[in-house]
Amino acid sequence: MHDPATALTALLDGVMALESESVALTQAHGRTLADTVTALMDTPPADNSAMDGYAIRAADAGRTLPVSQRIPAGHAPAPLAPGTCARIFTGAVIPEGADSVVRQEVVEESAEGAAIPGPVTAGNSVRRRGREMQRGATLLEAGTRLNAAAVGFLASQGYDRVAVRRRPRVSLLVTGDELVEPGRPLSPGQIYNSNAPMLAALLSEFGAEVVASRHVADSLDATVAALADAAEGSDVVVTSGGVSIGEEDHVRNALQQLGTLDLWRLSIKPGKPLALGRIKRGNGGETRFVGLAGNPVSSYVGAWLFLRPLMGALLARPDQAALPALRARAGFETSTERRANYMRVSLTIEDDQLVAHAFADQDSSVLHSCVQADGLAVIPAWHEIAPGDMIDVLRLQP
């Protein structure tokens, strides 16, 4: 059995970032910046008001000033006439000659003008030009995952297109003659195929595009044909199930016929019979292969530990190289044997301490525990854990 760190190194060996493509900003959410982007201009582009009120010279505060102009947002103001103030609104450009804004709640306006209470500090309620970004500065680094705020931030600089990494194309194959697609009736002995939709959803969270999802019959010929076909149009082929040692498990044999089985069986629970390798394509290239164990939790945990960093490497996303790790107190007791256990836990804060609570049933068939799991507690092999012991927890964060 291999340890997961060795397996991950083998999986990522030689993996190169995918090419970049230009997309409209409206399509960029969730994508990965291919190049570092710089500011095209100062933002805000001009000094502007943070309040609805009156723009003044700070030195003029403490008396009534005639209102010499009205400046709504979106209008270019005239210079401020000496000894006057300007009615101004939030976001409107500060007129030349003014240095401060006094909010309207503290000002009384009459026929003589606006009574401005003093003293006022110069710069009051003014958002300075370039406060957020200065032209030429780095806006976002290559490898940034474009969340909603990043999309807005690019728009604030006038970007309407952006260069992003092409999404990894992943073909998903599930094996198991017992599986039926949700929505169809079940016959005795059958169960629903839950791994395919789960893995497709995870892959999408990890930045991939699932280009095919197929159910393969439990035979060597069908598995060989499906793997060969899946390898052609994809960067990665992922299978679920059929990777253990029974005579119904054909995935490893099929892989060896089509390419290389680099590694099989990890010293982790769940997810032991995971297989990694490469499939030769007709054009001479190779497609990465990840064979996840069929038990739903084994597939789920394997996807977080291996598909997430693999997609991260293809997308050149540094934040996706390793799951964020925390230290927490165990809120449970357990002991391990030959394999490190990756236990589904929820996290709470008690007496200012992070506490990990393990779900009661940690069997690899019980997907329910994953629905609310915040993380995976990693308990090394041959270990005893008592409540209150410090443990490592990997956060399940895409």
Ligand X SMILES: Nc1nc2c(c(=O)[nH]1)N[C@H]1C(S)=C(S)[C@@H](COP(=O)(O)OP(=O)(O)OC[C@H]3O[C@@H](n4cnc5c(N)ncnc54)[C@H](O)[C@@H]3O)O[C@H]1N2
Count residues near ligand X (CB under 6 A): 26
From the list ligand MOO, ligand X, none, which binds 168 (C-beta under 5 to 8 Å, kind-based)? none
From the list ligand X, ligand MOO, none, which binds 296 (C-beta under 5 to 8 Å, kind-based)? ligand X
Q: Residue 291 CB, nearest distance to ligand X (Å)?
A: 8
* Residue 95 Cα distances to 41, 79, 88, 114, 223, angstroms: 20, 5, 9, 17, 73
Q: Residue 376 CB, nearest distance to ligand MOO (Å)?
A: 13
Instruction: Mark the segment that binds ligand X (CB under 6 A) among 9-17, 35-43, 161-169, 239-247.
Output: 239-247
User: How many angstroms separate the CA atoms of 297 and 372, rounded?
Assistant: 13
**Footprint of ligand X on residues 246-265 (CB under 6 A)?**
249
**Footprint of ligand X on residues 23-42 (CB under 6 A)?**
none
Q: Is the dihedral of CA 79, 82, 87, 89 positive or negative?
A: positive
Q: Residue 293 CB, nearest distance to ligand MOO (Å)?
A: 5
Quick check: 87 and 116 in contact, CB under 8 A? no
From the list ligand MOO, ligand X, none, which binds 240 (C-beta under 5 to 8 Å, kind-based)? ligand X
With b meaning 16 or more CB within 10 Å and e meaning fewer, what string describes 165-178? bbbbbbbbbbbbee
Q: Is 243 in the site for ligand X (CB under 6 A)?
A: yes
Q: Residue 306 CB, nearest distance to ligand MOO (Å)?
A: 13
Residue 276, beta-bridge partner list = 263, 290
Q: List the structure tokens of 103.
A: 């909010």
Minimum CB distance to ligand X smaller for 124 or for 213: 213
Pairing of the two strands 113-115 and 64-65: antiparallel
Q: Is 213 in the site for ligand X (CB under 6 A)?
A: no
Quick check: 288 and 174 in contact, CB under 8 A? no
**Footprint of ligand X on residues 182-201 (CB under 6 A)?**
191, 193-196
Pairing of the two strands 325-330 and 286-292: unpaired
User: How many angstroms separate the CA atoms of 90 and 49, rounded?
Assistant: 5
From the list ligand X, ligand MOO, none, which binds 207 (C-beta under 5 to 8 Å, kind-based)? none
Minimum CB distance to ligand X smaller for 89 or for 264: 264
Continuous segment of H or E residues that includes residue 220: helix 220-232
Binding mask 288-307 for ligand X (x = CB under 6 A): -----xxxx-x---------
Contact residues for ligand MOO, defined by CB under 6 A: 269-272, 293, 295, 298, 364
Phi (first) and psi of residue 377, to 5 degrees: -80, 130
User: How many angstroms separate the CA atoms of 49 and 128, rounded?
Assistant: 9
Q: Is 388 left (phi over 0), alpha (psi -120 to 50) or beta?
A: left
| Helical segments of 119-212, H only | 148-155, 195-205
Q: Is 178 in the site for ligand X (CB under 6 A)?
A: yes
Minimum CB distance to ligand MOO smaller for 139 or for 292: 292
Q: Residue 296 CB, nearest distance to ligand X (Å)?
A: 5
For residue 296, cis peptide bond before it (omega within 30 degrees of 0): no
Q: Residue 323 CB, nearest distance to ligand X (Å)?
A: 20
Q: List the structure tokens of 322.
A: 């390793």
From the list ligand MOO, ligand X, none, which binds 203 (C-beta under 5 to 8 Å, kind-based)? none
Q: Is 173 in the site for ligand X (CB under 6 A)?
A: no
- Contact set with ligand X (CB under 6 A): 174-176, 178-179, 191, 193-196, 240-245, 249, 270, 272-273, 293-296, 298, 364
